[in-house]
Amino acid sequence: MLRKLSSPSKATLKHREIFEEIKKKIDSGEWEENRTIPTERDLAEYYYSSRTTIRKAIERLKQRGYLHSVHGQGTFVLPPQSREKNLLHSLTDDIRAKGGKPAQKIIEMGFTQVSDVIRKNLELDHETHSVFFIKRIRYSGSVPIGIHSSWLALDVNTEITEKELLDTGSLYTLLEQKLGLKALEATELISARLPSKQEQEYLALESNEVILNCSRVTLSVTRKPMEYVEMAYSSARYLYKTRITKDNFSV
């Protein structure tokens, strides 16, 4: 089952294709954990490509905790618990991964005045006076997990409707599909604090629960801030998990 070469157009990148195929073999269990995968030279031959391209695909899988190379020995499949993403967190995906059913209730939605905090975080000029605001409660099934307040640097003509958001489920998916806004990177600040009265109510907090607060500025592929979001989570129902890697260079 040798790979056929795809046309050299932009649609499919070779290292990306190979990345996906290897990932599939690991996810499916065809390549078992703690065992070596074929050598880089063999893979290059198998996929009609060069070692450089194979190495690029493998490099990605290492970053994601799928593989691990030992000089002189080979490249090993890591156990599933290593496979953490430190990509942009999506609560929708998080809840699904834990077997829950993501749901949400929209509390508020529409254009609103720009405050100083928002202007600073979204790097707005002084001509911009309104941003799109969405406040919603996120649930896993019927259990409230957190409150998300998003401010989006949208043009005043481009409205998002409640129906669209509820149908799509994920705000990022909607922004990408409808407006072509793709997230590139984000900076997150995580802190802890006591809940407000409103938060206690919305999240049905027990008396000993506090708020895990995460505020994020998301940059689009053009490196303009596209979103500022404050996420207030119930400390008992949400954990922030992240995987930190030292890359090959800093060793």
Q: State both tokens at 75.
A: 């490249």
> What residues does 229 pair with on adjacent strands?
150, 216
**Partner that binds at residue 184, options DNA, its own copies, none, CB closer than 5 to 8 Å by kind:** its own copies
- Other beta carbons within 10 angstroms of residue 160's beta carbon come to 19
Q: How far apart are CB 236 and its own copies at their closest, in Å?
A: 9
Interface with its own copies by CB under 8 A: which residues?
Answer: 13, 15-16, 19, 52, 60, 63, 68, 84, 86-89, 182-194, 208, 210-213, 221, 223, 235, 239-247, 249-251
Q: State both tokens at 112.
A: 């609103």
Residues 6 or more apart in contact with residue 201 via CB below 8 angstroms: none
Q: How far apart are CB 231 and its own copies at their closest, in Å?
A: 12
Q: How far apart are CB 172 and DNA at their closest, in Å?
A: 22
Q: State both tokens at 127.
A: 């001509």
**Partner that binds at residue 75, options its own copies, DNA, none, CB closer than 5 to 8 Å by kind:** DNA
Residues composing the chain: 251
Nearer to DNA, 74 or 100 (CB): 74
Q: Considering just the CA atoms, what is the radius of gyration of the chain in Å?
A: 22
> C-alpha 125: how far from its chain's center?
28
Q: How far apart are CB 89 and DNA at their closest, in Å?
A: 24
Q: Is 58 exposed, middle or buried (0-12, 13-18, 19+ CB in 10 A)?
A: buried
Q: How far apart are CB 31 and DNA at their closest, in Å?
A: 12
Nearer to DNA, 109 or 219 (CB): 219
Nearer to its own copies, 120 or 178 (CB): 120
Interface with DNA by CB under 7 A: which residues?
Answer: 8-10, 13-16, 36-37, 39-42, 48-53, 55-56, 69-75, 248
The sign of the dihedral angle between the CA atoms of 47, 49, 51, 52 is negative
Q: How far apart are CB 28 and DNA at their closest, in Å?
A: 20
Nearer to its own copies, 107 or 186 (CB): 186
Nearer to its own copies, 158 or 187 (CB): 187
Are 226 and 220 spatial neighbours (Cβ–Cβ below 8 Å)?
yes
**Partner that binds at residue 196, options its own copies, DNA, none, CB closer than 5 to 8 Å by kind:** none
Query: Could you give the CA distance from residue 153 to residue 124 in angstroms, rounded to a whole number?
Result: 8
**Partner that binds at residue 48, options DNA, its own copies, none, CB closer than 5 to 8 Å by kind:** DNA
**Partner that binds at residue 204, options DNA, its own copies, none, CB closer than 5 to 8 Å by kind:** none
For 127, phi then psi, to 5°, come to -85, -25
